Amino acid sequence: MTTLTFQLPQAGLRRYGSLLSPLAWIALAFLAAVVLLALLAPVLAPFDPDYVDLNNVLAGPGAQHLLGTDALGRDLLSRLMHGGRTSLLAPAAVVLGSTALGLLLGLAAGWSGGWAGRILGRIFDLLFSFPALLVAMLAVALFGKGLVAPILAMTVAYVPYVARLTQSLAAAERARPYVQAYRVLGFRTPWVVLCRVVPNLLPVVGAQSTLNFGYVLADLAALSFIGLGVQPPTSDWGAMIEESRGALLGGHALPAFWPALAVVLVVVAVNVLGEELSERIGGGLR
């Protein structure tokens, strides 16, 4: 007689503890804190981010201004918190939009296969030849400065990253036994795809989209830095760095340092999280 042994999944919170490495937990906690600070900026920020105080310009960190003030005497901490709203919300919109669109198109291409899939694949390839930042700049040239046109343009530019991945995953998934089983049992294809296949693809696609978030955030910040994105006086990390260049050349590095640090730390945290996710998924959860 053989004895069957089962390994039961760990119960409760401990299961989540083993899901991510300590480093990834730190990254996640950091991102959560940053999002919270940005969301609650109107309540938590110690000053009005646009309040100009010319008697107190380029002040160092102190009790009143925790991170100091910029060349116009505006409180850097408040600007940083308010700036986080545009700096984080815009890439989030791009990532959500491109993930939804990419999933849809990728599924259509991967599931249908054949010539329709090949043509869609060619279109994805074509979109790859337009770098996202360039598309965003073209959008600004067409529709004017601001974030709306770049957000839409970058959504389109990031679709192929999700769609290509989804296409190959969907093609592989289609051949798996559970899909055949549903088919034999007479379930409708749209139901099988949306309710049974998509949940299987989401972790992998989610890992890719997480990594995309970092790139989009950097690109949109760069766009504001070159003066084509968020317009002054609205605070945004990229725009804050641009505004601080004069002070930087005069030897005052802090006004540029804080937003630069924010961008880098958020991108690092997002990358750590995204790479962890994709490693976990590749490493055995599936």
Partner 1 sequence: MAVPAVAFVARKLLVLAVTLFAASLAVFFSRFLVPGDPARFLLRGRSPNPESLAEITRQFGLDKPAWEQYWTWVGGILQGDWGRSLSYRQDVSEVLLGRLPTTLQLVALAAVFIMVLGLLAGIAASLNRGFADRFILIALTAAGAVPPFVAAIALVAVFSVGLGWFPSFGSGDGGLDRIWHLTLPALALGLSYIAVLARVTRSSMREQMLREHVEVATSRGLGRGSVVARHVLRNALGPILTVSGVLVAGLLVSSAVIERAFGLSGIGQLLIQSIDRLDFAVVQAIVMVVVTAFVVVNTCVDLIQPLLDPRITAGTENR
The footprint of partner 1 (CB under 8 A) covers: 125-126, 129-131, 133-134, 137-138, 140-143, 214, 218-219, 221-222, 225-228, 238, 241, 245, 248-249, 251, 253, 256-257, 260, 263-264, 267-268, 271-272
Query: In the complex, what is the shortest distance from the CB of residue 275 to partner 1, in angstroms, rounded to a whole number?
Result: 9
Closer CB to partner 1, 42 or 282, in the complex: 282
Using alpha carbons, select from 204, 145, 143, 195 the residue that is nearest to residue 169: 204
How crowded is residue 269: how many other Cβ atoms within 10 Å of its Cβ? 22
Minimum distance from CB of 173 to partner 1 (Å)? 19
DSSP bridge partners of 69: 75
Classify 53 as helix, strand or coil.
coil
Local structure of 65: helix, strand or coil: coil
Taking the complex as a whole, the smallest distance from the CB of residue 17 to partner 1 amounts, in Å, to 23
* CB of 5 vs partner 1, minimal distance in Å: 33
Q: Which two tokens stand for residue 7?
A: 């390994």
**Rounded CA gap, 202 and 99, in Å?**
10
- Smallest gap from residue 147 Cβ to partner 1 (A): 15
Selection from 201, 224, 202 nearest residue 88 by Cα: 224
Smaller CB separation from partner 1, 14 or 245: 245
CA distances from 132 to 91, 94, 172, 232 (A): 12, 11, 28, 23
Closer CB to partner 1, 193 or 260, in the complex: 260
Q: CB-wise, 40 or 226, nearer to partner 1?
A: 226
